[in-house]
A and B are shown apart, each in its own frame.
Chain A
C-alpha cells in the first residue's frame, strides 16, 4: 500500500521514515543485554537479512522493526532461576518482565528447537502455549498456521491454495512429492522445527568457555563496590581455570546497568594467567573508565581466550619474593602487560637483532612477548665498523662542503648549524642487499649499479661525533646524517 492511499484511509495516520540501520543497532544492543541470560545469543538471521533492503525476501513474517527476533540458547542456564522446567519458565518470565520495564513489547517462547520457538513466539494464541515442554513441539506446532515455518510468500500462497493451512496438515503428506513440488526448504524447515534436523545457531560473539557472574539485589554504583565485585568474580573464575589447568589470555568484564545498557571492558595478558591479584591489577587500569550509570545490577566476567597453563604451581608465592633469574619468572612481563594496556602494545617493545649487514636494518622493534635469543646481540656486536650510539629513524639530508666531489667533507650544515670537521674516519662502503627481492617482488636488473652508501664517522671542532653517509654516484651525490656517536 502506498503512503498516499494509507492517508486517504486513515486521516490521523502518523508516519515516520524507516530506519533499518537504527533498528539493527537497537536489536544488537538488545542482544548484548541478553548476554545476561546466556552467552549464546543470536540475532534472528531472517530478521537481519530483511533489514537489508537488497536482500531477497526469504520469509513472510519476521523482519525489522516490530518483527525482529532474538534467539537465545538457554540450555543449562535455567538453574540460576530455579530447578528444572520451573527455572526455565522463571527465566523466560524474568526476560519478558525486564524488557517490558524498558518499554519493549515482546513475546518470548521457549521450545526444544529454534524453529519451534520462532513459530510459537509469533503465532501461538494462548499465554500457556508459549512454553513448550521438552519433546512436545509436534503437538504444539500442529495447530499453528504454516507461516510459522519460515518460508517465502510464494510457497505459502501455494500451500494455502492447496488447503494446507496448519503445520499439522503437513505431517501426513508423503515427503517425496512435497519435496518434488516445493523443493527441499519446506521439509528442512519442518524437520528443524520438530527437532529431526539440527539447526546451528550462530552466536553474535563466540561464547566464552569460562565465565562467572554476580548479581546484586540492590544496584551498585560506587567504584570500590565494583572493584570488590570484580575481585570476587576473578577469584571464582581463577578457581575454574585452575581446575581446568588453563590460564586466561583475555578477560572481559560486562556491567549490566539498570537502564538496560551494557558497559564492557577487556584486558589481555601476554601469557596464560590465572593469578587473581595480578589480573585485578590489570583491571585496575580499566575500571576507572567504566561508567556505572544509574547503577549496576549484574556483572559477568568471562574468559573468551584461554590457553594451556604454563606457569608455576599456584601454591608457590610468586609476587612477594623477587626472583631475578630470567625474563619470564620475574615481574617484568606483568609490568609490560600493565604498560601495554595503558599505552598500547605498539609502544612497549624490545629490540631484536636482524640478520643484515645494513646498520639501519640490524635492530627491529618486536613485541615484548617475543623472546630474544641469548647471545644474539653479542654476535652482532663483533661486526666491524664504527657504529653510532643513536640512530636517526630516517636519515636527514645535510649540506656538505668538500674540496672535491669525491673527497670527504670539510664541513656540514645540519639544522642551521655549521659543523667544521677536523677528524674523519671512513669511508665504509655498504651496498644494498641486492640478493633480497625488491619490495615489489622483483630482483634488481643486472645492469644497474645497486645504491651504495659511503659511511663516515666524523668529529667537528667542538668534539661532537656524527655518522654521515654519501648516497649516490658522481653526478648526483647527496649527503645524509644518520646517527650520533658517543
Chain B
C-alpha cells in the first residue's frame, strides 16, 4: 500500500516491495506519515472560512482561513518603528476572523498584565459577533493558560479559542496546533508584541494601526488638527503554510474598517495616503 501520496514536495513514490527492501516496518511508515502531515495531501478535505477579502483569500489555502489550525496575530510596530502602544488593530482583525467562524461559544483566555489590565470591550466587539458568546477565562500561570486553550479545543460546541499572551512556548504551540487539527476548531493566538516566530502556526499576521482615512467631515476650528476617519490597519501575512506563494515575500495590505457600515475592505494601493514612508518601511 503506498503511504506517501504524490505531491510536489513528497519524495518519489516507493513500491511496497522497495519499502520492504529498505526494511521499512509499518511503524516506521506510520512515523514517516506523521512527519509528512504538514504536506498538502493531509489537509485535503479540511475546512476553510473565507475572510471576505478577495485579495487576501486568494493567497490562503482553500480560499480562506483553515478552521482546524492555529493562527497567530501579533501587534506590529508603528510606522515609525516604535513598539505599538496597544494591540487594538490586531484585536480588531482577530475579531473580524472570529466573526467569520461558526456560531458557538468563543473561549477567550487571558493572562492579566500587572499594570493597566485592559479587557476587550464587548460593545465594540458586537460589530463582529455577539459578545454573549464569549467565555472569558483568566489564568495566572502559563501552564494553566495553555491547558485552558487545549481543553477548549477539545470541546464540541466551542466555535473558536482565542489566547491573549506574551508567552511563546514552541511545545505548547505545537500541542495547540495538533489539538486544533484534531477537532477542527480554530485557535487564535493574539500577541500584544511581536514574538519570536517559533510556533507551528498555519498563518501568522502582523497587524498595526495605520493613519486613518481622510474624514468626510471638515476639520474643526483647531488649526493643524483633523477629524478621525475610518480606522485603517496595516496587515502583513508573515507566514502562510499550505497557501499560494505570492510575488512579494511578505504580502501587505492596507485594510479599512468602517464601523458604521461594519465593512472591512482592502484599500487600493493608489489611495495610500502616506504611501511614501510606508513603502520605505516595508522595503527596510
Name A's B-contacting residues (CB within 8 A). Answer: 322-324, 327, 329-332, 334-336, 338-339, 342-343, 347-353, 359, 362-363, 365, 368, 372-374, 376-378, 380-381, 383, 386-394, 396, 403, 407-408, 410, 414-415, 417, 419, 421-425, 457-459, 461-466, 483-486
By the criterion CB–CB under 8 Å, are B225 and A390 in contact? Answer: no
Besides A332-B104, A335-B152, 9 more A-B contacts (Cβ < 8 Å) are A324-B104, A331-B158, A347-B138, A349-B135, A389-B95, A391-B121, A393-B117, A393-B118, A486-B124
Q: Which of B119, B209, B222 contacts A390 (CB 8 A)?
A: B119
By the criterion CB–CB under 8 Å, are B144 and A342 in contact? Answer: yes
By the criterion CB–CB under 8 Å, are A359 and B123 in contact? Answer: yes
Q: How long is the Cα–Cα vector from A351 to B152 in the complex, in angstroms?
A: 18
**Chain B, Cβ-Cβ closest to A374:** B132
Is B92 in the interface zone, CB < 8 Å from A?
yes
Q: Which of B105, B107, B119, B209 contacts A391 (CB 8 A)?
A: B119
By the criterion CB–CB under 8 Å, are B232 and A485 in contact? Answer: no
Q: Mark B101-125, 1 if CB is under 8 A from A, else 0.
A: 0111101000000001111111111
Q: How long is the Cα–Cα vector from A352 to B126 in the complex, in angstroms?
A: 12
Residues 187-237 of B at the A interface (beta carbon under 8 Å): 208-212, 215, 220, 222, 224-229, 231-234
**Also in contact, A351 and B85, with CB within 8 A (given A390-B121, A393-B119, A463-B208):** no
Q: How long is the Cα–Cα vector from A373 to B211 in the complex, in angstroms?
A: 37
By the criterion CB–CB under 8 Å, are B121 and A483 in contact? Answer: yes
By the criterion CB–CB under 8 Å, are B135 and A348 in contact? Answer: yes
**28 interchain pairs, CB-CB under 8 A:** A324-B157, A332-B158, A335-B107, A349-B138, A350-B136, A351-B122, A351-B132, A376-B132, A380-B123, A381-B124, A387-B124, A388-B88, A388-B121, A389-B121, A390-B87, A390-B121, A391-B121, A392-B118, A424-B225, A424-B226, A425-B228, A461-B211, A463-B210, A463-B234, A466-B85, A466-B86, A483-B121, A486-B124
Contact residues of A: prevailing secondary structure: mixed
By the criterion CB–CB under 8 Å, are B78 and A463 in contact? Answer: yes
How many Å from the CB of B9 to the closest CB on chain A? 33
Q: How long is the Cα–Cα vector from A343 to B111 in the complex, in angstroms?
A: 12
Tell which of B86, B123, B125, B210 has the most Cβ of chain A within 10 Å.
B123
By the criterion CB–CB under 8 Å, are B118 and A331 in contact? Answer: no
Is B257 in the interface zone, CB < 8 Å from A?
yes
**Also in contact, A389 and B125, with CB within 8 A (given A339-B148, A351-B131, A465-B88):** yes
Q: What are the residues of chain A within 8 A of B229 when measuring CB–CB?
A: 423
**Also in contact, A486 and B118, with CB within 8 A (given A324-B103, A377-B131, A463-B212):** no
By the criterion CB–CB under 8 Å, are A486 and B231 in contact? Answer: yes
Q: Ordered nearest first, which 6 A-B pairs have the shortest CB separation?
A: A330-B157, A322-B156, A486-B92, A462-B78, A484-B86, A372-B132
Q: How long is the Cα–Cα vector from A387 to B127 in the complex, in angstroms?
A: 11
By the criterion CB–CB under 8 Å, are B148 and A486 in contact? Answer: no
By the criterion CB–CB under 8 Å, are B137 and A414 in contact? Answer: no
Q: How long is the Cα–Cα vector from A457 to B105 in the complex, in angstroms?
A: 31
**Chain A, Cβ-Cβ closest to B257:** A486
How many Å from the CB of B80 to the closest CB on chain A? 5
Is B178 in the interface zone, CB < 8 Å from A?
no
How many Å from the CB of B224 to the closest CB on chain A? 8
Q: Which of B156, B215, B224, B257 contacts A330 (CB 8 A)?
A: B156
By the criterion CB–CB under 8 Å, are A459 and B116 in contact? Answer: no
Is B169 in the interface zone, CB < 8 Å from A?
no
By the criterion CB–CB under 8 Å, are A486 and B91 in contact? Answer: yes
Q: Which of A373, A387, A415, A485 contacts B123 (CB 8 A)?
A: A387
Q: What are the residues of chain A within 8 A of B102 when measuring CB–CB?
A: 324
Q: Which of A332, A338, A407, A459 contacts B157 (CB 8 A)?
A: A332
How many Å from the CB of B189 to the closest CB on chain A? 17
Q: What are the residues of chain B within 8 A of A330 when measuring CB–CB?
A: 104-105, 155-158
**Chain B, Cβ-Cβ closest to A351:** B122
Q: How long is the Cα–Cα vector from A396 to B215 in the complex, in angstroms?
A: 28
**Chain A, Cβ-Cβ closest to B132:** A372
By the criterion CB–CB under 8 Å, are A485 and B82 in contact? Answer: no
Is B84 in the interface zone, CB < 8 Å from A?
yes
Q: What are the residues of chain B within 8 A of A359 when measuring CB–CB?
A: 121, 123
Residues 261-283 of B at the A interface (beta carbon under 8 Å): none
**Also in contact, A422 and B209, with CB within 8 A (given A335-B155, A389-B88):** no
By the criterion CB–CB under 8 Å, are A389 and B92 in contact? Answer: yes
**Also in contact, A332 and B120, with CB within 8 A (given A378-B126, A424-B220):** no
